[in-house]
């Protein structure tokens, strides 16, 4: 679904590379967590896949189809629309028949357990609810590929726990391919089928784990390695 070969990114003409020599392929239905400290270029890597940035070296290719849906740490919902209005927007842009907008948006809000919030303005929703609406909006794009940039990073622990559950269900039901950026080892372990650890400055792939390799035992090991990568450049 996604293939990066020797992909690197440098900003500006004389800047230091943010990403270097990234070889990564993501298959259909995978849930890949990109783990790394700040400055590891994990968001930049996501932007390369999303097509928001061009690689300076190497290649990035994404299977043709609807453009990938993106979720940000900030919900990036449109404040002039209601929850339902936000979810309807991608449907309008997809030129779905107008009489189906409301039913489809309501179905998607149902998936994230916010069916009763259709007409609620964004500013009256809680942080967790906003991220759920953002998820429903991303799903409305009908893309097989969902790219998420620390989407739950700004939420409190309990809300984040609830959202993990909602989101894991949605991922299974919809058979999505997900690339998920996080700096939280437990989150990565809980959600990912694969964890990719990035080193810092430049971001390189330092290590990869698959969840089949015994997830529980890994938490300490992964945290240890992440700590090493973060401290190597502190």
Partner 1 sequence: MLSLGSLVPALGHSLFRTVLGFTASVLLGSAIGLLIRRYAPVRRGLSPVLSAIQSLPAAGLVPLAVLVLSESEQAVYAVVLLGAVPSVAMGLVGALDQIPPLLLRAGRTMGATGWDSVRYVLLPASLPGIVHALRQGWTFGWRALMTAELITETPLPGIGEILNTGKQTDDTALTLAAVGVILAVGVVVESAIFTPVERRVLRTRGLLPRERHR
The residues binding partner 1 (CB under 8 A) are 50, 52, 67-70, 72, 74, 76-81, 89-90, 92-94, 121-124, 137, 141
Residue 46 neighbours by CB under 8 Å, 6+ apart: 34, 70, 147, 148, 149, 179, 181
Select 37 or 85, whichever has its Cβ closest to partner 1: 85
Q: How far is the CB of 40 from partner 1 (least distance, A)?
A: 21
* 21 backbone φψ class: left, alpha, beta (φ>0; ψ -120 to 50): left
Q: How far is the CB of 198 from partner 1 (least distance, A)?
A: 22
- Give the residue among 125, 151, 139 at the shortest CA–CA distance from 72: 151
The single residue listed with the structure tokens 């090991």 is 221
Q: How far is the CB of 97 from partner 1 (least distance, A)?
A: 17
Q: How far is the CB of 212 from partner 1 (least distance, A)?
A: 32
Q: How far is the CB of 222 from partner 1 (least distance, A)?
A: 30
CA 58/CA 136 separation, integer angstroms: 33
10 Å CB burial of residue 214 (0-12, 13-18, 19+) is exposed
Residue 146: strand, helix, or coil: strand
Torsion of CA 69, 131, 38, 60, to 10 degrees: 0
Select 1 or 222, whichever has its Cβ closest to partner 1: 1
The token pair at 101 is: 């907008």
Select 48 or 185, whichever has its Cβ closest to partner 1: 48
Select 137 or 225, whichever has its Cβ closest to partner 1: 137
Select 79 or 175, whichever has its Cβ closest to partner 1: 79
Per the CB < 8 A criterion, the answer to whether 217 and 188 are in contact is no
Residue 214: strand, helix, or coil: coil
Enumerate the β-bridge partners of residue 25: 3
Select 5 or 74, whichever has its Cβ closest to partner 1: 74
Per the CB < 8 A criterion, the answer to whether 12 and 159 are in contact is no
Q: How far is the CB of 114 from partner 1 (least distance, A)?
A: 18
């Amino acid at each position: 679904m996604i293939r990066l070969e020797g992909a690197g990114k440098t900003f500006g003409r004389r800047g230091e590379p943010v990403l270097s020599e990234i070889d990564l392929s993501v298959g259909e239905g995978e849930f890949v967590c990109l783990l790394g400290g700040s400055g590891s270029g994990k968001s930049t890597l996501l932007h390369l896949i999303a097509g928001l940035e061009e690689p300076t070296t190497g290649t990035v290719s994404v299977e043709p189809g609807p453009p990938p849906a993106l979720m940000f740490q900030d919900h990036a919902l449109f404040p002039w629309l209601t929850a339902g209005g936000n979810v309807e927007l991608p449907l309008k842009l997809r030129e779905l028949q107008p009489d189906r907008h409301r039913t489809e948006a309501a179905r998607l809000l149902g998936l994230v357990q916010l069916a009763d919030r259709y007409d609620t303005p964004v500013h009256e929703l809680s942080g967790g609810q906003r991220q759920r609406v953002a998820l429903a909006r991303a799903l409305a794009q009908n893309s097989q590929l969902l790219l998420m940039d620390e989407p739950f990073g700004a939420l409190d622990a309990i809300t984040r726990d609830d959202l993990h559950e909602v989101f894991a269900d949605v991922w299974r039901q919809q058979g999505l391919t997900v690339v998920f950026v996080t700096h939280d080892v437990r989150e990565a372990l809980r959600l990912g089928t694969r964890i990719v650890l990035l080193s810092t400055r430049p971001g390189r792939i330092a290590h990869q784990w698959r969840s089949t390799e015994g997830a529980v035992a890994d938490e300490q090991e992964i945290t240890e390695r992440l700590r090493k990568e973060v401290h190597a450049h502190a």
